[in-house]
Structure formats: C-alpha cells, structure tokens
Amino acid sequence: MKEITAIIRRDKLPETKKALEEAGYPSVTIQSVEGRGKQRGEICSETDPEMPESFCAAVKLRPTPASYALEHALPKVALYVPKRLLTIIVPDEKVMDIVTSIIRVNQTGRRGDGKVFVCPVEDSVRIRTGERGDEAVC
C-alpha cells in the first residue's frame, strides 16, 4: 500500500475529485492548508488564479509589507498561499494511475501547481470490522 499526498490549487479541487472518482478512487481526505514553495509566498494572478488581476497593480500603488520589504532590502514577511491537501491510500499497483490523474488535472505550467508525494504504508486497520491491510483500504 502507498499513501499519496497531493498539494494542489484550491480551484482545481472539483476537477481533481472528479478525476479520482473516474479512476475508481472516490475516497480521499481533504484539508485546507497554507504554505509556500519556490514562489516564496508571492501571490499574484500567475501564482493563484483566484487572486484578482487588480491585486498586482494595487500592490504597486499601496505596497504590502512583503513587497515593501523586497523593494527596500528588508527581510521579507513570510506569506503563505492557501492550498488543498489531499491524502489517498491505494494498493501499490494503482499508484501510477492515481498520480497521473492528479498531475493531468492540476498541471497548468505556472508556479504554484503543487506537489505529489508517494510514501509506503506499513499497515491499515478498519476500526469498525478489524480488517487489516488492503481489505481495510478499499
């Protein structure tokens, strides 16, 4: 068994859930999270499509603490971008199908598309029945 953890854009969640359902894996845990990657928390329309186009123009007129810090060689205030974190446990043979589905839906080619992590799962137990292993996952 493997645990697939995906960090994706908020606006891609409905498409991702649909893709997982079509792949035969509608069971997913979803969390609202905030974080930053290589974009260092800079949020403009290119990073976060839900951010209004006028945001970057407004930043130039009335700078945020982070943009002011950048322009004046001060330490930048840490900004965090809202994302969605999906966790799915799948049998080993289904990992590539699920990862491919997630990438296909979420890949825009812009910064902030997200990440997918695959980790081994030693065991699982369904609390209601006591089933273990793959039987407890499906």
Q: Does residue 101 sit in helix, strand or coil?
A: helix
Compute the average pLDDT of residues 101-120: 93
How far apart, in whole angstroms, are the C-alpha atoms of residue 4 and residue 26? 13
What pLDDT, on a 0 to 100 scale, did the predictor assign at position 138?
A: 72
With tokens 């990657």, the residue in question is 37
In this predicted structure, the answer to whether residue 104 has a pLDDT above a threshold of 80 is yes
Give, in degrees to the nearest 5, the angle at Cα 113 between 111 and 119: 125
Higher pLDDT, 70 or 31: 31
pTM above 0.75, yes or no: no
Q: Find the range with the poorest average confidence among 39-43, 46-50, 84-88.
A: 46-50
What pLDDT, on a 0 to 100 scale, did the predictor assign at position 84?
A: 96
Q: Which tokens hold the place of 17?
A: 């859930």
Give, in degrees to the nearest 5, the angle at Cα 46 between 43 and 49: 80
Q: What structural domains does the chain harbor?
A: 2-38+80-137 (3.30.70.120)
In this predicted structure, the answer to whether residue 24 has a pLDDT above a threshold of 80 is yes
Mean of the per-residue pLDDT values for the chain? 81
In this predicted structure, the answer to whether residue 125 has a pLDDT above a threshold of 60 is yes
What pLDDT, on a 0 to 100 scale, did the predictor assign at position 110?
A: 83
How many residues are listed for the chain in this entry? 138
